[in-house]
Amino acid sequence: MAIGGKRPVDEELQDYARLLVRAGFLDDAQMRAEVVSAIEAELPDVAVDAPILARAWLGGAAAQLRKDAALWPAETDHDRLQATFGECAEHQVPVLQGVEDHWSAKAELDRLAGEGRTPRGIAWFTAADVWHAIDQGMLEVNVWHGTTANVAPGDALLESVLSCLGRHGLAARFDEGRIEVSAHWQRRP
């Protein structure tokens, strides 16, 4: 039931399933568990049917992704992003994709420091950032120095990452502490 002009809860949950499928960070069992848990929490009246609904919604989202992907260009923004992230990693700026929050980046920096390898920097973004890129065509990426200090305008590390994005055909700008990359997350199934 819709309240206050918002979409009904079941539509929101179906959209959540769609975003999980398109982001591509979880395997099938993990996605099912996520959607079942969300159904049980948000629609307790149908909790007994949560596994069936989750399977149906995820299956429908996967089928639609396959249909949409057949129409995508040979090289997508996602392909360009992955090439950029690979190049960044080669230059000691690993990129953490779809992480929970900034603590994941801090933990990775600590792990690398423990191995005696402090990187030049680290870039990271959350699953919610990817969901925004799926629907809005803009991925927000955080970039830190290896010390966890944020990059700032005029910073050589920031300029290097922006330049790398540009070399791979992605328009980007630094705004309010994050890089905004004009890119749709078109990850192939």
pLDDT digits (tens, 9 = 90+) for 132-181: 999 999 999 999 999 999 999 999 999 999 999 999 999 999 999 999 99
**Which neighbouring-strand residues pair with 144?**
122, 150
Burial (CB count <10 Å: 0-12, 13-18, 19+), residue 81? buried
pLDDT at 40 over 50: yes
**Residues of the chain with pLDDT > 70: what percent?**
97
How high is the pLDDT of residue 7?
A: 77
- Strand ranges inside the chain, DSSP E: 95-99, 121-126, 138-145, 172-175, 178-182
Cβ 133 vs Cβ 145: under 8 Å: no
Q: How far is CA 48 from the centre of its chain?
A: 31
Using a cut of 0.85, tell me whether the model's pTM lies above it: yes
pLDDT at 5 over 60: no
Burial (CB count <10 Å: 0-12, 13-18, 19+), residue 11? exposed
* pLDDT tens string 58-86: 999 999 999 999 999 999 999 999 999 99
Report d(CA 71, CA 48) in Å as an integer. 37
* pLDDT tens string 112-140: 999 999 999 999 999 999 999 999 999 99
